[in-house]
Amino acid sequence: MTVNKLETEETNGSESFRDSLGIVEKSGKRKWVYPKEPKGRYTNARNIFSGILLLILFGTPFITKDGHPFMLFDIINRKFILFGFPFGPHDFYLLGLTMITTIVFIFLFTAVFGRLFCGWVCPQTVFMESVFRKIDYWIEGDHRNQRRLNDSSWNGEKILKKGFKYIIYFSISFLVANMLLAWIIGVEALEKIVVAPVSEHTSGFIAITLFTGLFYFIFIWFREQACILVCPYGRLQGVLLDPNSIVIAYDYLRGEPKGKIKRNEERTLGDCIDCNECVVVCPTGIDIRNGTQLECVNCTACIDACDNVMDKIQKPRGLIRYVSQNGIKEKTRKIFTPRVIGYTIVQILLLSLLTFFLTTRSEIDVTILRTPGMFFQEQPNDKVSNLYDMKVLNKTFEQQNIEVKLLNREGDIKILGDNKSINPQEAALTKMFISFDKKSITTMNTPLVIGVYSGGIEIQRITTSFLGPVEKKDQDEKHHTDDNEDHK
């Protein structure tokens, strides 16, 4: 499967490897991959990095801020908490903008660094290569023993080893399912599902069972096929990469023509001794020497394998390394290509917009508008009133008790009903009368400034208007009155 059409010299004159998948036999049957355990500096670094990522993945749901999860992705109820800040359905525009920014970032990142994400950060690779594959080596032995065990009939050894492995796989899948649910519904809600009888949390129980089954299926059987056949990011590599993208590549100029080392013979071939070590460690069953391929998840196993070989034959490391195609061919390192510059500009614009929206986002939104279609009401005691609609959106985790005061003149405010107290993450619509002595209203349109308070703290200042009795001199103005008051 082609990522970039490589030139004939890079693929050693043959493109036939693109006609088949490394994990499928000619008959169409799946070819099970038994990669040799990689060893080397990149593998060590990835093990440490994976450990840190797993700590973050399993630990973050337990972190709280002011009694609430630090991170929460409650997709079902459209409630999100990012770094302790709540976001709800009212913040949909922020979610949309964040998604667009993330997609552009992925484009930009991939154009420069290729599939670095796949090899180092993607949970599929982290769990497959740094958790489950290690269990295979621990229980079943190296790649040769794994193959032998699979090919053997069901004897005592096989039943014992496979049974033990399945139990561990299932237990970890169950843990991963719980972890995923903790990110979605929070640790407290998850605890209730785990502790309470199933009858009280049927949907939660079904979710855990389904997720456990899904992860178990992926890691015990589906494995590398998730990256090669399903992952949309993997499928997009063909359009995201270009010859300047940094990928894991074989330096064909240095390695070719490849050939075995022959004793007592002066070597005239390239540095590749055709030992196949880079192929046997590959978890997706490809030969990186054929060129950049869609199946490559940038796991670095072939770099370590080849570096170990180079050490043994006393040649410089890096026959397989992080490098762009142009880096091999022209020995250049060009990061800021026109495409990358274009992505960067769009990314900066999107990030600026997102930062602006995030920093100007208020925690409580209040709008006060004169009730449409209403003019003014004559009240007893020579008073005159206007009816207003007040809408309050409480985006915080706390109950908000809303009070309003007139700031620019004396008058009365009467809130109707009992809607002054707004529950967390909820909106409420309240009606209120504002009234003045009739004689104090001298014009048809009197500007008002209303202060909105919660817990005694001013949270917003709103400008609106008050319609008064129309006197002769105001008749003409009446027609020009703007019924849609501005509000802040």
Tokens at 224, concatenated: 């590398």
Based on the shown chain and the rule CB under 6 A, indicate whether residue 245 belongs to the binding site for ligand SF4.
no
Neighbours of 129 (CB within 10 A): 24
Instruction: Give the phi and the psi of residue 14 in degrees, each rounded to 5.
Output: -125, 135
Q: Give phi and psi for 386, each to the nearest 5.
A: -125, 150
| Residue 249 lies near ligand SF4 (rule: CB under 6 A) | no
274 near ligand SF4, judged by CB under 6 A: yes
**C-beta of 99 vs 313, nearer to ligand SF4:** 313
- 272, 255 in Cβ contact below 8 A? yes
Question: Is residue 278 a contact point for ligand SF4 (CB under 6 A)?
Answer: yes
Write out the two tokens for 157: 């050894």
Binding residue (CB under 6 A) for ligand SF4 from 297, 340, 368, 441 = 297
Closer CB to ligand SF4, 36 or 383, in the complex: 36
How many residues make contact with ligand SF4 (CB under 6 A)? 30
Interface with ligand SF4, residue 122, by CB under 6 A: no
Chosen residue from 6, 272, 350, 467 binding ligand SF4 by CB under 6 A: 272
- Phi, psi angles (nearest 5°) of residue 152: -75, 160
Measured from the CB atom, is 254 or 431 closer to ligand SF4?
254
- 247 near ligand SF4, judged by CB under 6 A: no
Smallest distance, Å, CB 308 to ligand SF4? 8
Give the shortest CB-278-to-ligand SF4 separation in angstroms. Answer: 3
Catalogue the E-assigned strands of 281-373. Answer: 320-323, 364-370
What does each C-alpha distance from 263 to 94, 311, 312, 439, 485 come to in angstroms?
Answer: 66, 18, 15, 113, 92
Q: How far is the CB of 139 from ligand SF4 (least distance, A)?
A: 22
Q: How far is the C-alpha of 159 from the C-alpha of 145, rounded, in Å?
A: 15
Transcribe 406-475 into DSSP letters.
Answer: ESSS--EEEE-SS--EE-TT-EEEEEEEEEEEGGG--SSEEEEEEEEEETTEEEEEEEEEEE-PPPGGGH
Query: What's the min distance (Å) between Cβ of 258 and ligand SF4?
Result: 6
The verdict on 298 binding ligand SF4 (CB under 6 A) reads yes
For residue 402, the surrounding DSSP H or E stretch is strand 400-406
The least CB distance from residue 80 to ligand SF4, in Å, is: 34
Is residue 282 close enough to count as binding ligand SF4 by CB under 6 A? Answer: yes
CA separation for the pair 129, 217 (Å, rounded): 16
CA atoms of 304 and 36, how far apart (whole Å): 12
Distance CA 457, CA 453 (A): 5
CB nearer to ligand SF4: give 108 or 248.
248
Distance CA 467, CA 268 (A): 97
* Shortest separation between residue 248's beta carbon and ligand SF4, angstroms: 4
List the beta strands (DSSP E) in 164-231.
Answer: none
Binder of ligand SF4 out of 108, 172, 246, 296 (CB under 6 A) = 296
Nearer to ligand SF4, 298 or 446 (CB): 298
Q: Judged by CB under 6 A, does residue 172 bind ligand SF4?
A: no
Distance CA 461, CA 156 (A): 78
Is 108 a residue that touches ligand SF4 (CB under 6 A)? no
Q: Tell me the closest approach of the beta carbon of residue 280 to ligand SF4, in angstroms.
A: 9
**Under the criterion CB under 6 A, does residue 118 sit at the interface with ligand SF4?**
no
Site for ligand SF4 in 303-322 (CB under 6 A): 305-306, 309, 319-320
21 binds ligand SF4 (CB under 6 A): no
Q: Minimum distance from CB of 236 to ligand SF4 (Å)?
A: 17
Question: Of the two residues 284 and 464, which places its CB atom closer to ligand SF4 in the complex?
Answer: 284
In DSSP terms, which residues pair with 385 in a beta bridge?
A: 377, 435
Beta bridge partners of 392: 366, 428
**Which residues of the shown chain bind ligand SF4 in the complex (CB under 6 A)?**
248, 250, 255, 258, 272-278, 281-284, 286, 288-289, 296-302, 305-306, 309, 319-320
